[in-house]
C-alpha cells in the first residue's frame, strides 16, 4: 500500500525553528515528486512547493519562496518542510502529497495525501 | 492565491443531483491542463476523487463524475448521500508566474 506518514503535531513559539517530515512507503520514493500543501484554519488548500527526491530538484510557489525550505533524504524515503523563524501566521495544517503525471504531461495531480501535521505557533 | 474559482457552497436533498463549477483561465484549464477533484471529509485529509477531468480512482462511487470545457470544469454528484457532505476542491496546473499547481477556492456541499 502506498502511504505517506507525517510527523506529529507541533506547538512552537514565534521565532522558533521547525522541521516536519513525511515518510513515503510502498513505492519507489525517488521516482515521484513530493509536494507540500498548507491549509490554514477554516480555509482552503494552498500549494507551497515540491521536490524530486531523486535529485533534490525543488520548486516553490512564489507565495512561499524564501519563507520555507523543502528538502528530502532519499536514503530514508523522507521529505521535509522547515521554517527558520516561525510566525503566528504559520499556524496551519500541512499536508505532504505525492505527485502523479500522466503520459500526455497535461495531467498532474496529487495522490495519496499524508494525514497532515498541525503546526500551532503561539506565544 | 487561488486562481480557480468555485462557488462557496451548494446544497441538495438526499437523492438529488448537485454540480460544482471550477472556473480558471487561459494559463491553466484553458491551456489544456487537466482538472482534478479532491474530497475533504470533516477533520480528515483531502482524498483524490477525480483525476484527468473525468476519471475515478478505484473505490470512488460512480455517482461522482467530472467534465471539462474551455476554461472551466464541473464535478457532479448524482444520487446525493449524507456521507457526501464535505468540502470539494478542484486543482490544475498553471503555466504563469503565479504558481505551478493551483487549487480552487473550495465548495462546501451540504446534504439537507
- The residue with cell 465548495 is B107
Residues of B in contact with A59 (CB under 8 A): 100
Q: Percentage of residues in chain B with pLDDT exceeding 70? A: 96
Q: Which of A45, A65, A100, A111 to mutate to test the interface with B (most CBs of B within 10 A)?
A: A45
- At residue A105, the pLDDT reads 83
Nearest CA distance, A20 vs chain B (angstrom): 17
- What are the pLDDT digits (tens) for B96-106? 876 689 999 99
Instruction: In whole angstroms, give the CA distance from residue B70 to residue A24.
Output: 36
- Residue A95 near chain B (CB below 8 Å): yes
Instruction: In whole angstroms, give the CA distance from residue A52 to residue A35.
Output: 9
Instruction: In whole angstroms, give the CA distance from residue B1 to residue B70.
Output: 22
* Coil, helix or strand at residue A29: helix
- At residue B96, the pLDDT reads 86
- What are the pLDDT digits (tens) for B9-37? 999 999 999 999 999 999 999 999 999 99
Instruction: In whole angstroms, give the CA distance from residue B5 to residue A64.
Output: 21
Residue A3 region by backbone torsions, left for phi larger than 0, else alpha for psi between -120 and 50, else beta: beta
Instruction: In whole angstroms, give the CA distance from residue B65 to residue A65.
Output: 35
Instruction: In whole angstroms, give the CA distance from residue B20 to residue B86.
Output: 12
Look at B102 and A114 and tell me if their CB atoms are within 8 Å.
no
- What are the pLDDT digits (tens) for B59-86? 999 999 999 999 999 999 999 999 999 9
In A, minimum Cα distance to B105 occurs at A44
Q: How far is residue A33 from each of residues A39, A82, B1, B60, B85, measured CA to CA in Å?
A: 20, 17, 22, 24, 31
- At residue B2, the pLDDT reads 73
- Residue B98 near chain A (CB below 8 Å): yes
Q: Percentage of residues in chain A with pLDDT exceeding 90? A: 95
- What are the pLDDT digits (tens) for A41-89? 999 999 999 999 999 999 999 999 999 999 999 999 999 999 999 999 9
- Out of A106, A108, A116, closest to residue B101 by CB: A108
CB pairs under 8 A between A and B: 76
Strand pairing partners for B18?
Answer: B77
- At residue B100, the pLDDT reads 87
- At residue B1, the pLDDT reads 60
* Coil, helix or strand at residue A23: strand
Nearest CA distance, A41 vs chain B (angstrom): 11
Look at B34 and A109 and tell me if their CB atoms are within 8 Å.
yes
Amino acid at each position: 500500500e502506498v502511504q505517506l506518514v507525517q510527523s506529529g503535531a507541533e506547538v512552537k513559539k514565534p521565532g522558533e525553528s521547525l522541521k516536519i517530515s513525511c515518510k513515503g512507503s510502498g513505492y519507489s520514493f525517488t521516482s515521484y515528486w513530493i509536494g507540500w500543501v498548507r491549509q490554514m484554519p477554516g480555509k482552503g488548500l494552498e500549494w507551497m512547493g515540491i521536490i524530486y527526491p531523486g535529485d533534490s530538484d525543488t520548486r516553490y510557489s512564489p507565495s512561499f519562496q524564501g519563507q520555507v525550505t523543502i528538502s528530502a533524504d532519499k536514503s530514508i524515503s523522507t521529505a521535509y518542510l522547515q521554517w527558520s523563524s516561525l510566525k503566528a501566521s504559520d499556524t496551519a495544517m500541512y499536508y505532504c502529497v505525492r505527485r502523479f503525471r500522466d503520459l500526455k504531461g497535461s495531467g498532474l495531480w496529487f495522490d495519496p495525501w499524508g494525514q497532515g501535521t498541525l503546526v500551532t505557533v503561539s506565544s | 492565491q487561488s486562481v480557480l474559482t468555485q462557488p462557496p457552497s451548494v446544497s441538495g436533498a438526499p437523492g438529488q443531483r448537485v454540480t460544482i463549477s471550477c472556473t480558471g483561465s487561459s494559463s491553466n484549464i484553458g491551456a489544456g491542463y487537466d482538472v482534478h477533484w479532491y474530497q475533504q471529509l470533516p477533520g480528515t485529509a483531502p482524498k483524490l476523487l477525480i483525476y484527468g477531468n473525468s476519471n475515478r480512482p478505484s473505490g470512488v462511487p460512480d455517482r461522482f463524475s467530472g467534465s471539462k470545457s474551455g476554461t472551466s470544469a464541473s464535478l457532479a454528484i448524482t444520487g446525493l448521500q449524507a456521507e457526501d457532505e464535505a468540502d470539494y476542491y478542484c486543482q490544475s496546473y498553471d503555466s504563469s508566474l503565479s504558481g505551478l499547481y493551483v487549487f480552487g477556492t473550495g465548495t462546501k456541499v451540504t446534504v439537507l
